[in-house]
Each structure stands twice: as structure tokens, then as C-alpha cells.
Amino acid sequence: MTTSNKCLEQIKVFEGCELTAYRCNAGVLTIGYGHTSGVKAGQQITKSDAEKLLREDISNVEKQMSKVIKSKLNQGQHDAVVSFVFNIGIGKFKTSTLLKKINANANDKSIGNEFRRWVYCNGVKLAGLVTRREWEARRYYESV
């Protein structure tokens, strides 16, 4: 399954687009729409580069998810998890209760609450993460 345009557009809103490298709240060098791999201080890119990096990053997230998610997901579930994994990384997702619940029963009604637990960065609750997790929790229960 591939990520919907609806999800891609929402990730763009959550991430914002910075064409010059910066340090995110977690202190990681970031550029474009949340791209972190190989970013160098002072690096600059074009909007077109940012779009290309986002699509490559989402494709990588989808590949990583396919290795750890055993349940069949619908489009809404897939999109919600893509946004989540894009944000926190596959390493944290692999050990999460969220993944355990998805693999046990992708339609478990408590899964939305698992998204909502991930709203802290370095011990600080961030309004942007609260908003993102609410969107992910709602999207998880949408089938289209």
C-alpha cells in the first residue's frame, strides 16, 4: 500500500518546509519536510529538492513498516502509521505498544490512544505533537 496524497499533504503541514538546515526540537539537523539523513549544517536545498526528499523518505518508511507490521491495514490506518513512523523513527516504533496492538488486532479500538501517548520531546509536551497525534488517531479509524 502507498501513502495517500491526503497524508503527504498533512505531513507537509506538520513538518513545515525549511530550505536551510536547522536543528529540530530533538536537536537533529533537519531540512525540507523533516528530512534528517545526511544533513549538514548550513546546507540549502530547493523546494523541488524538499519534495523529492519527502517522497524518498516516505517510501523508506513504507518499506520499513512492511517488515514489522503483520496485520493488513486499510488506507487510513496505513497513513496514520506512516505519519507516526516518519516522525518518531522505525526504531522507536518497533518497540512500541502501538505496534504490538496493531499486530495483535489492527481494529482494536484502543489503538488511537497509543498515538496520543507520543506527545513529548525531551520530556516536554509539545502542542505540535498533540495536534499531530490527534490527526493520526482520527486518521487511523478512517477507511478512505
pLDDT tens per residue across span 42-54: 999 999 999 999 9
User: What is the residue-averaged pLDDT of the chain?
Assistant: 96
Q: How many domains does the chain have?
A: 1
Place of cell 478512505: 144
- Quick one: cell of 16? 513545515
Q: Return the pLDDT at 25.
A: 87
Give residue 109's domain range: 5-140
Whether 49 and 30 have beta carbons less than 8 Å apart is answered as no
Residue 142 appears among annotated catalytic residues: no
H-type helices in the chain, by residue range?
A: 5-15, 47-68, 75-88, 90-94, 97-104, 111-116, 127-140
- For residue 91, CA distances in Å to 22, 33, 50, 122, 127 come to 23, 20, 24, 17, 23
CA distance 123 to 109: 27
Catalytic residue among 9, 17, 24, 142: 24
Q: Return the pLDDT at 117.
A: 97
Q: Return the pLDDT at 144.
A: 63
Q: Cα 126–54–63 angle (5° rounding)?
A: 95
Neighbours of 7 (CB within 10 A): 23
pLDDT band at 140 (very low <50, low <70, confident <90, very high): very high
With H, G, I as helix, E, B as strand and everything else as coil, classify residue 130: helix
For 98-119, how does the pLDDT look when each residue is reduced to its tens digit (9 = 90+)? 999 999 999 999 999 999 999 9
Mean pLDDT of 13-32: 96
Catalytic residue among 15, 56, 121, 134: 15
One-letter amino acid identity for 24? C
Residue 81 has pLDDT above 70, yes or no: yes
CATH of the domain at 63: 1.10.530.40
Residue 15 appears among annotated catalytic residues: yes
